[in-house]
Amino acid sequence: MRSMSGLKTVILLGVLTALFILIGGAIGGQSGMVIGFIFAILMNFGSYWFSDQIALHMAGAHEVSEREAPELHRLVAELAREAGLPKPRVAIIEADAPNAFATGRNPQHAVVAVTTGIMRILNQRELAAVIAHELGHVRNRDILISAIAATLAGAITLIAQMGQWAMIFGGYGRNDERDNGTAGVLGALLMLILAPIAATLIQLAISRSREFGADRTGAEIVRDPEALASALEKLEAYSRRIPLPVNPAASHMFIVRPFTGATLQKLFSTHPPTEERIARLRAMAQGGVAAFGRV
């Protein structure tokens, strides 16, 4: 199952890169496609090296030392040992909304961040399960994949918007390489409109698929699926009442969607339905995973 999920993610990332190249072609013909390909490589490179710094900044998180948060560091260290991972750095978000996320390009450069709110409402068993979920993202290499997907999708949207403005002000069609008449102009315009939508849907699909995997891995790390199910119930209930004001581009990183308001359609959500995640975890618990003991 994990190999199929990984293959699906690679395919989706490939489609995102192809969209980037097609956007370049719609704006600048063959030379635009080359530029789009170069930009895709640069975006991937930037996401790889700076994903942790970008994520922490967008979430308003700050790193804390062992002296500042000894119990949190102890818990993270114990769970990292259980997961077979290096101990990640630890960060805190000063917010009442209960939530958590992990970031970093690989296990050696990972950061686990939690809000002050989540440490107040969860018991020790539930908090351990949430941190194990985030370590599951680290172990499954979800963070890098999601960061690249989000960066590519955002860049595609930005470049498409620039292309639309260029067409409005007459920039399109002056280059003979692209002068294919009305059909060519309409085709390019359609690409500039649809590509950002497709890129966003692909990014969200990647985000949703990785959450299920992290739930399972986290439950296996603590050997307590029910604890994670219970934590998700609390987090979902509180998130509806206490929004977490973060950059929307960072919403996919958190364990539950950090926004309130009308329920989005599944297709446009950064997370799978929480009730479905809880049901899967409780099915794991009934299957005997909880009998193996707890951290």
137 is in an annotated binding site: yes
Place of tokens 């370049």: 24
Question: Residue 65, class by beta-carbon neighbours within 10 Å (0-12 exposed, 13-18 middle, 19+ buried)?
Answer: exposed
What six digits make up the tokens of 246? 């973060």
139-177: burial string, b at 16+ Cβ within 10 Å, e else = bbebbbbbbbbbbbbbbbbebbeebbeebeeeebeeeee
Catalytic pick among 68, 71, 134, 233: 134
What six digits make up the tokens of 261? 């308001």
Measured over the CA atoms of residue 68, residue 71, residue 76 and residue 77, the dihedral's sign is positive
Does residue 275 have an active-site annotation?
A: no
For 131, 147, 238, 267, the CA distances from 16, given in Å and listed in that order, are 30, 13, 34, 17
What six digits make up the tokens of 49? 């090296």
**Which residues of 94-235 form beta strands (DSSP E)?**
100-103, 111-115
Contact indicator for 273, 266 with CB cutoff of 8 Å: yes
Backbone angles phi, psi at 151, to 5 degrees: -65, -45
Catalytic residue positions, numbered: 134
Q: Which residues are annotated as a binding site?
A: 133, 137, 211
Q: Which residues are annotated as a binding site for Zn(2+)?
A: 133, 137, 211
